[in-house]
A and B are shown apart, each in its own frame.
Chain A
C-alpha cells in the first residue's frame, strides 16, 4: 500500500483556489482588454439602488445595528443544535426508549427560542421607526 503522499490530499483545495482566483482575475482583465470603455459622468453616477456616498465610512452607526448584529449571532448559533438533532432523529426512539422524546425535546427548545423572539419584538428592539425601546 503506497498511496499518494499525505499532503497531496490538499491538491484539490489548491486547484480550487487557483481556479477561483484565476476566474476572477481573468474576467476583470478580460473585460479590461476586450471591452471598450467610454466613461461619462452619467455612467459613473449611482443609479437605481445606489446611494450617493456621504461623509466618512468610519462614522458612528446607530446602536440598533449592533442590536441586530447581536441578535443575529444568537439566533444564528441556536440553529447549530438542529443539525445533530436532525441527523440522529430517527434513532432517538431506540436510544431513549420513548417514541416522541426527540420530538418534544425540540419543541421545548424551539419554545425557548420563541420566548426570546417574543421578548425582543415586545421590547421594540426590531422596531426601527418608533423610539420606544430603551436601548
Chain B
C-alpha cells in the first residue's frame, strides 16, 4: 500500500512547481498554466484527505475547484485575448505600461 504521505508529497510538489512556474515563466499562457497546476496539486490533496477521513466532502470540493478553475480559465483566456489584441504580445516583460 502506498502511504498517504506520498500523495501529499506529490501534491505539495505539484503546488510548488506551479509556484516556480508562475514566478519564472515569461509567457502569459504558461503562467496561467502554472496556476492551473497549483490548483490541481491542491485537488490531489483534497482527494487524499477525503480518502483518509472516509468523507466524500473532499471529493465534492474537488468538483467545485474544477468548475471554478474552468470559469477562471474562460475569463483568463478572454483577458489574454484582449491583451494580445491591444499589444500584440504575450510576453510579460513587455506588458509594462504601468510601473512603480
Contact = CB atoms under 8 A, between A and B. Distances in A.
A6 B70 CA distance: 35
Nearest to B85: A63
B63 A81 contact: yes
A59 to B, nearest CB: 15
Interface of A: 6, 63, 66, 69-71, 73-74, 76-78, 80-81, 84
Q: Which 10 A-B pairs have the closest CB atoms?
A: A77-B70, A70-B74, A73-B70, A77-B67, A6-B1, A80-B63, A74-B74, A70-B77, A73-B73, A74-B70
Given A6-B2, A78-B67, A84 B60 contact: yes
A76 B60 CA distance: 17
B66 interface: yes
Contacts of B73: 70, 73
B67 A80 contact: yes
What class of interface size applies to chain B in its complex with A?
10 to 19
Given A6-B2, A66-B77, A84 B63 contact: yes
Contacts of A81: 63, 67
A78 B73 CA distance: 14
Interface of B: 1-2, 60, 63, 66-67, 70-71, 73-74, 77-78, 81
Contacts of A66: 77, 81
Nearest to A135: B81
Contacts of B71: 74
Given A6-B1, A70-B73, A84-B60, A77 B66 contact: yes
Contacts of B2: 6
Nearest to A6: B1
Nearest to B71: A74
Contact of B78 (A6, A70, A78, A80): A70
Among A6, A77, A81, A84, the one with the most B-chain Cβ atoms within 10 Å of its Cβ is: A77
B74 A63 contact: no
